[in-house]
Amino acid sequence: MKNKKIKIAIVGIGNCASSLVQGIEYYSINNTNEGLINLEIENYKISDIQVVAAFDIDSRKIGKDLSEAIFSGENNTTIFQNVTETGVVVLKGKVLDGVSDSMRDYFVVDDTQQESNVVEELKKSCANILISYLPVGSKEASIFYANCALDAGVGFINAIPEFICSDQVWINKFKEKGLPCAGDDIKSQVGATIIHRILTRLIQDRGQKITNTYQLNVGGNTDFLNMLDQSRLVSKRKSKTQAVLSNLDNSDSISTRIGPSDYIPHLRDNKICYINIKGTQFANVPFEIDLKLSVEDSPNSAGIMVDVIRYMKVALDRKIGGLLEDVSAYYFKSPKIQMREDVAKNIIKQNYK
Ligand SMILES: NC(=O)c1ccc[n+]([C@@H]2O[C@H](COP(=O)([O-])OP(=O)(O)OC[C@H]3O[C@@H](n4cnc5c(N)ncnc54)[C@H](O)[C@@H]3O)[C@@H](O)[C@H]2O)c1
């Protein structure tokens, strides 16, 4: 008999976590499919998702109820839903490389409390799934929390561009434990990546040639602030670039520059993306496309996470371990196996109701 509640634990109570937690309450109150890819997945509704544990390292979030912590510290995404007290208190995680030197004034690392034992807390909370929303560039911290998921016997969703669920070694570890995983790096509902992927593919499918393209992104949240440090940005640039190029033919011949470009504080969680595509059309005549996208960044990712969580729970119910290939291909920028969206969607449709 399947357990109706989907118990999740979250690492990194930043803007993405805020939108996810607000969204769970929003769709629990409003029985609508507006804004969703799926109202139900194998009878699971968004209201079946319950956060049972939360970890952060910021002193302004630790010790607070999750309903308060999601609006604390530097979190500045839009508030679309007040959240009732959850009874889940944010615990202190392990810092490692989660906070770079340049971010120490913004992620205020707590030095008063003991780190919690993440594995024990995951077990105690009876979590089914751990979600990583760590800052970009958190390689060691990603490895630490992925190992915690393995040791605690919970599934793992990697929302960030560290290559865990696209790495066969990690996939094998989850498979051996009979635990599902999905990742890497959430591909937002309608964000820069999917628009760039689909538009460039459309151009090639219609017989035209792309000679060069760029995608510039700016925003005013801590995600963008953190990515000002070029050394932390390598994985994000790689993830975003391969998400577009993997969908194209002759990608080696296309001059490309894709990635986060600047931090503009007053934009807050509003992300602005500029896409430029140049090429040639019929009879070698040149064309150029300029596109601007303006979108609230974090709810755009939460719309994806509410589906991934439910597919993960179905996999747990079915005792499927290892990578959810179809789900990762449809919902993430850097899956182990890249697929066109329509192909991935069809496979998901065959595998789940
Ligand atoms: N649309 C999107 O917003 C989107 C899409 C794809 C990927 N992502 C990725 O998701 C991640 C989260 O994004 P966000 O906007 O919520 O970031 P954020 O900066 O708002 O939040 C990060 C949180 O992690 C905490 N943290 C830092 N080190 C930690 C550690 N070692 N242990 C526990 N917590 C730690 C910080 O204190 C902060 O609360 C980023 O890597 C981002 O690139 C976001």
Asked if 66 contacts 22 with a C-beta cutoff of 8 angstroms, the reply is no
* pLDDT higher than threshold 90 for residue 267: yes
Q: Which atom of ligand 1 is nearest to the CA of 95?
A: 31
The residue whose CA is least distant from atom 3 of ligand 1 is 298
Return the ligand 1 atom nearest residue 55 CA.
Answer: 33
Which residues make Cβ contacts (< 8 Å) with residue 210, sequence separation at least 6?
Answer: 200, 203, 204, 248, 254, 277, 278, 279
Mean pLDDT, range 133-159, rounded to an integer: 98
More confident residue, 90 or 3: 90
Q: Is 198 exposed, middle or buried (0-12, 13-18, 19+ CB in 10 A)?
A: middle
- Opening angle at CA 53, ends 49 and 57, nearest 5: 130
For the chain, give the longest Cα–Cα distance: 68
Nearest to 13 by CA among 76, 85, 51, 66: 66
Tokens found for residue 114: 């003991």
- Residue ranges lining ligand 1, Cβ < 6 Å: 11-17, 55-58, 75, 93-96, 98-99, 107, 133-136, 141, 159-160, 185-186, 188, 221-223, 297-298, 300-301
Ligand 1 centroid to residue 81 C-alpha, Å = 20
Mean pLDDT of 40-47: 97
Q: Which residue from 137, 128, 140 is spatially nearest to 93, judged by alpha carbons?
A: 140
- pLDDT, mean of residues 113-123: 96
> What three-state secondary structure class fits 204?
helix
CB 334 within 8 A of CB 161: yes
Residues 6+ apart with CB under 8 A from 22: 70, 79, 80, 81, 83, 302
Ligand 1 center to 212 CA (angstroms) = 31
- Reading the block at residue 327, the tokens are 């789900």
Percent of the chain with pLDDT over 70: 99
Structure tokens at 337: 């196996």
pLDDT value at residue 2: 59
Give the pTM. Answer: 0.97
**Alpha helix locations (H) across the chain?**
15-29, 66-69, 118-125, 139-152, 168-176, 192-205, 222-226, 230-245, 297-317, 325-331, 341-351
Return the pLDDT at 4.
Answer: 86
132 Cα to the center of ligand 1, angstroms: 8
Centre of ligand 1 from the C-alpha of residue 76, in Å: 12
**Ligand 1: centre distance to CA 232 (Å):** 13
The rounded radius of gyration (Å) of the Cα atoms in the chain is: 20
Tell how far the Cα of 159 is from the centroid of ligand 1, in angstroms: 9
Q: What is the mean pLDDT of the chain?
A: 97
**Residue nearest (by alpha carbon) to ligand 1 atom 36:** 12
